[in-house]
Structure 1
Amino acid sequence: MDLKPLLGQHHVSAITANAKENYRFYTKVLGLRLVKKSINQDDPSVYHLFYADERGNPGTDLTFFEIPRAGQTYLGTNSISLTSLRVASDASLDYWKNRLEEYQVDHDEIQTKYGRKTLAFRDFEGQRLELVSDQLNEGVAGGKPWDKSPVPVEHGITGLGPVKLTVPNLELTANVLVEAMGYRQKASFLEGEHNVSIFETGEGGTGAEVIVEERADLQRERPGRGSVHHVAFRVESEEELRKWINHLKKLRLPNSGFVERYYFRSLYFRDPNGILFELATDGPGFEGDESFEHLGENLSLPPYFEDQRAEIEAKLKPLDTKE
């Protein structure tokens, strides 16, 4: 491909039914920084919350759309079934096991998966999460935890790790990842009776892997609160993003074309198993409308929504993010 490789994960966007409790959990328990309190630009009546490292560096964002009436998630295929979060070391997982127990968070035991130590857990809505140790990581660098977090910096979450997709037909997703997106297959094996493949891009490592699990025995997932909406992958610039748009057109892969998100520029498309992928630029970032010291404290609206601010704020339930 006449394209630079994708750089790894950019962000993962999920669904919550309760922005207030979501904010409490991800900042007070997980210690992430809310770097932007904004709106879903496709539905300005709901919040879009961005949690990340100290300044929302690309590859560190876990974001949520608040949909107050979101129903229960019925787990299954055609889904982004696990989001992992990076920590510095195996010792950090011991810290986190104790912390999750202290806050009565549902979790599994520490185990070794795909050559790394991991600790799986669920948030208050059943969002499927996993902490993954970077002790042996030699790929994409992580971010920098916020020094005002309740979690000590040495154990803080440094970004997104591997994202897991569960699909009824692994080959269909593999073809898109390899042929259309330039990933390379790193491993392929049976996990129980099910085929699993691991793909990586760019520098590889924890922050640039996609795990695909084939489960033809499951029903299609019915998303709701605690499910993932889409995963985004990093493109270094707008110029490069426009090359990707042309590339997907040549492949006749249906896509959104260029989408302005203000904090980054995007392109959306679905793989043949129906999973929503986004390509997003590394910049401009989150400090264009707020200073580093005050990120996430007020409702931020892209300039093209400012003339609707009064109407938008009237529809949103107040959410105090200055405490």
Structure 2
Amino acid sequence: MPLKIVYKPYTLHFRNEARTSRGVLTQKTSWLLKITDSDKPGVEGYGECGPLPGLSVDDMPDYEPQLAAVCDLFNDMDLDVFPFNLGIILDQVIPQHLPSVRFGVEMALLDIMNGGERVQFKNAFSRGESGILMNGLIWMGSYENMSEQVQDKLEQGFSTLKMKVGAINFDQECRILESIRKRFDKENITLRVDANGAFEADNVDDKLKRLAEFDLHSIEQPVKPGQHQLMQELCVSSPIPVALDEELIGIFDYREKFAMLKKLMPPFIILKPTLLGGFRHTAEWIEIANRLNIGWWITSALESNIGLSAIAQFTASYNNPLPQGLGTGQLYTNNFESPLSVENGYLIYDKSGSPIQPFF
């Protein structure tokens, strides 16, 4: 019998305001998917479609009707899924301008192919044999609030901290970085910053020089995406290695991906599967980056534990030694029970725990 798919929206509530240079979030809606096969009663594959407001190319007023249309088409096509036809199904059913939908459907199909146990990728991480090194994320806020977050992450055992910059007073942000460096040099604590495109062409050089005083590992997306000439110059001249993030969003053609990275040649790229169109698209970015000797790491994009678990399993498939950005599972008051936990700066998958069970 063919596969069937249904969806339901679910609103996630933040424990604290999530502040970036683009604004403040107090809640976020994801659309959860369930795929079933009548030949396998009780086996269910789950996925999560969670476009980011103001950032995803599919953040649009009619998102849910478009998702419903994808589900209707899926249900009309009498589909069975196997490793050899997974990509074909995704290409036939999901328009290119809906990357978060593709991510969710791909995740659910991988889940049901592996028996419906919320295991999309079988590896040492999903078997509970190894963890994933992570950075501790410091959200924008007051000087006092951000200082408290820094102390909390250090006490949790993180050796890499990533701080959002560009929303509060720049001097205050530099004071926080300075206070960390007074206590820990770069051999003991690695510092990353993420500007989310907050700097302008007329001030980016001065701000990068100021930030370079704190021995930073990298800066994500110092200026808004689409300014390729400026970004190309920054990738060469910046005293802090540049990591592209938003710059990758909306590019789905392999040749365009390759051409953009070859032109800009950033030291690093940041990969968010929800925004990039799922795991297969993310794998293309990784393959190109490896060809061009560009470093990379993967981050979550405010998914619930359903999406976060799948992203973590995918990430673990690559054995990337750099700290990853997968620490968003503790952000919400109403997240789903999960085998994921954070121990001494590592994300751990406790196989003995119950699999994630969504609400439908």
Query: What's the TM-score once normalised by structure 2's chain length?
Result: 0.27
Choose between structure 1 and 2: higher strand proportion.
1
Choose between structure 1 and 2: higher helix proportion.
2
Query: What's the TM-score once normalised by structure 1's chain length?
Result: 0.29
